[in-house]
Amino acid sequence: MKCFTPTNVLAFVIFILCFDAWCFGEADIDMAPMEKAEQEALYSVIQGFVGSWWNGSDLYPDPCGWTPIQGVTCDLFDGLWHVTTLNIGPVHENSLGCSKNVEFRSQLFEQLKHLKDLSFFNCFVSQHKHPVAIPSRTWEKLASSLESLEFRSNPGLIGEIPASFGSLVRLQSLVLLDNGLTGQLPASIGNLVNLERLVVAENRFMGPVPDSFGGLTQLLIFDLSRNLLSGPLPSTIGGLTSLLKLDLSNNLLEGNLPSEIGDLKHLTLLDLRNNKFSGGLSKSFEGLFSLEEMVLSNNPIGGDLKSLEWKKLEQLEVLDLSNTGLRGEIPESISELKRLRFLGLSDNNLSGNLSPMLATLPCVGALYLNGNNLKGELKFSEFFYGKLGRRLGLWDNPNLCYPIGLSPEISHVPFGVKPCQQKVKLLQPNSNAHLGDDANLDQNSHLMASLGSSSYGVKGFWWSISLEILIMSSFL
C-alpha cells in the first residue's frame, strides 16, 4: 500500500480547494441574474425590428445564459448580466431577419445602459416601399457606453445623419456603408475625438468635407468614397496625424491637392481617384514615407512627374496616375521604387523615350503606359515582355516600336505596338562593297530610295532588282 507523504496530502488539499472554487465560480456566473426591466427591453427592441410575431420571452427565457440570442452579447457588471452587443439583421444563417415595417423603440436608448456595439446589416431593404430614417434624437442617451455604431447595406435607410451622433463621445467606430443616406455631413462628427474608424462610403452625401473633421487626431481609417461630395479638400486634413488609410475616391471634390496631406506620415493608402482635383502633384507628397498605395487616376491634376523625387517614397507598391493630364517624360527615378508592383500612367500626355531601367523593377507585375506620346525603340528584354504579357500596356503610342529581331512568339511581342521599320543603306554603283556585307545594312535609318526607274541604265536596273529582292527577303 502506497503511503501519502505530507507533501502529497497538501497538494491534494490545494487541488480540491481550487477545483471547488472553479466549479462554484462557474456556477455563480451561470446563475447570475439579469434585470427584469432590461430583459424585457431587449425583447421589445428586437421585436421592433423583426416583427410582432417574435416572442422572445418564450423562445429565449435566459438571453444572457443558457438560451442565448444570435447577435446578442452580454457581460457581467456588479454581479448582473447586461447587454453589450446588439447586431440586427441576417449577419449569420441563423440570425434574425428584419420585417418590412421596422421600428426604433425607445427601450433601445433608455434601457440598454451598457450597450457598446450596435449594428444594422441588410435590415432596411426597400427605399420605395418601406423607407426608414435614423431617429434624429435620443442618441445622447447612449453617449456613456456606445463605442461602435454601424449601418451596413441598408438601401431603404434614407434621410440625413442626425447631428446628435456628435454626442456619442465614446465612439471609436462609425460605419455608414452602402445605404441610401443623403444630405450633408454634419460638422458635429468632429466632436468624436475618440474615433479610430470613420466610414460613410457608398451613400449620396453632398456638399463639402467639414473642416471640423481635422480634429479627429485618433482616426486611423477615413473613407468618404462613392458619394457626391464637392468643393475643395480642407487644409485641416493635415490634422489627421494618426491616419493610415484615406479614401475619398468617386466624388466631385475639386481644387488643388492640399500640401497638408504631406503631414500624414503614417499614411499607407491615399485614394483620390475619380474626382476633379487639379494644380499638379504637391511637392509635400515626398513626406509620405509610409505610403504603399497612391491612386490619383481620373483627375485633371496636370503637371510633370519630375516635380517629385520618387525615390523618397520607397515603400510605394501601387502608383496609379492614369488620366491625370501629366506632361513631360517619365523620370528614370521611378525605377528606384523597388517595391513597386503596379505602375499606371496611361492616358496622359507623356512623351520621350522609355528608360530600359523600368524593367529592373524587381516586383513589378503590371505596367500601363498606353495612350501617351512615347516614342522610339523599346529596349526591354524578351524576358520582360514574356513576364508581363498583356499587363504591359504600351498601345496607343503612335511613335513607339519594338525591334524587328524580337521573338515572333505572341507573348514576347508588346500588344498594340508596331515593329520598328527596317532601314537599309543603299550601295553606290561603283562601290566595291557587296550586297551581302552586313556592314552595309543599317537598320537604324529609314529607307529613302525609290524602287522605280533608275538613271544607271542596265547596271542600275539590276541594282534596283537586287535591292528589291534584298528588302523582300528581310521580311521573310
Are 118 and 148 within 8 A, CB to CB? yes
pLDDT of 301 > 90? The answer is yes
Where does the pLDDT of residue 463 fall: very low under 50, low under 70, confident under 90, or very high at 90 and above? very low
Helix residue ranges per DSSP H, 147-304: none
Residue 180 confidence (pLDDT): 96
DSSP per residue over 128-173, as a string?
A: TTS-EE--SSSGGGGTTT--EEEEEEETTEESPPPGGGGG-TT--E
pLDDT of 320 > 80? The answer is yes
N-term to C-term CA, the chain: 102
Contacts of 276 (CB under 8 A, 6+ apart): 252, 253, 254, 299, 300
Residue 405 confidence (pLDDT): 73
- Dist. CA 208–CA 185, nearest whole Å: 8
Where does the pLDDT of residue 8 fall: very low under 50, low under 70, confident under 90, or very high at 90 and above? low
- Dist. CA 75–CA 94, nearest whole Å: 22
Where does the pLDDT of residue 96 fall: very low under 50, low under 70, confident under 90, or very high at 90 and above? confident
pTM above 0.85, yes or no: no
Task: Specify whether the backbone of 424 is left (phi greater than 0), alpha (psi in -120 to 50) or beta.
Answer: beta
Residue ranges and CATH numbers for the domains of the chain are: 27-114 (no CATH), 302-420 (3.80.10.10), 423-476 (no CATH)
Q: Helix, strand, or coil here: 457? A: helix
- Dist. CA 241–CA 261, nearest whole Å: 10
List the one residue out of 157, 163, 170 whose CA is nearest residue 121.
157
Burial class (CB in 10 A: 0-12, 13-18, 19+), 111: buried
Give pLDDT tens digits for 139-185: 999 999 999 999 999 999 999 999 999 999 999 999 999 999 999 99
Residue 475 confidence (pLDDT): 35
According to DSSP, the residues that pair with 158 across neighbouring strands are 133
List the one residue out of 230, 200, 198 whose CA is nearest residue 214.
198
Give pLDDT tens digits for 369-404: 999 999 999 999 888 998 999 999 999 999 999 888
Residue 424 confidence (pLDDT): 56
Give pLDDT tens digits for 325-359: 999 999 999 999 999 999 999 999 999 999 999 99
**Angle at the Cα of 233 from the Cα atoms of 232 and 239, rounded to 5 degrees:** 150
Q: Helix, strand, or coil here: 285? A: helix
pLDDT of 17 > 50? The answer is no
- Strands 117-121 and 80-88, bridge-based pairing: parallel
Which contacts (CB < 8 Å, 24+ apart) does range 172-175 have? 172/147, 172/148, 172/196, 172/197, 173/147, 173/148, 173/149, 173/197, 174/148, 174/149, 174/150, 174/198, 174/199, 174/200, 175/149, 175/150, 175/151, 175/199, 175/200
Are 181 and 152 within 8 A, CB to CB? no
What single-letter amino acid sits at 228?
L
What is the average pLDDT across 7-12? 50
Where does the pLDDT of residue 409 fall: very low under 50, low under 70, confident under 90, or very high at 90 and above? low
442/410: higher pLDDT: 410
Contacts of 79 (CB under 8 A, 6+ apart): 32
Which contacts (CB < 8 Å, 24+ apart) does range 472-475 have? 474/422, 474/424, 475/422
Q: What are phi and psi of 471, to 5 degrees?
A: -65, -45
pLDDT of 467 > 50? The answer is no
- Identify the weakest region by mean pLDDT among 22-36, 54-68, 314-328, 394-408: 22-36
What is the average pLDDT across 45-53? 93
Q: What is the mean pLDDT of the chain?
A: 85
- Dist. CA 286–CA 316, nearest whole Å: 11
Residue 413 confidence (pLDDT): 81
Residue 421 confidence (pLDDT): 85
| Residue 190 grid cell | 468632429
Residue 197 confidence (pLDDT): 98
What is the average pLDDT across 100-115? 94
Q: Helix, strand, or coil here: 82? A: strand
- Dist. CA 286–CA 279, nearest whole Å: 16
What is the average pLDDT across 52-72? 91
What is the average pLDDT across 71-75? 95
| Residue 311 grid cell | 525615390
Task: Specify whether the backbone of 336 is left (phi greater than 0), alpha (psi in -120 to 50) or beta.
Answer: alpha
**Angle at the Cα of 258 from the Cα atoms of 256 and 260, rounded to 5 degrees:** 170
- Dist. CA 30–CA 51, nearest whole Å: 30
Give pLDDT tens digits for 219-240: 999 999 999 999 999 999 999 9
Are 41 and 112 within 8 A, CB to CB? yes
Residue 130 confidence (pLDDT): 85
Give pLDDT tens digits for 199-213: 999 999 999 999 999
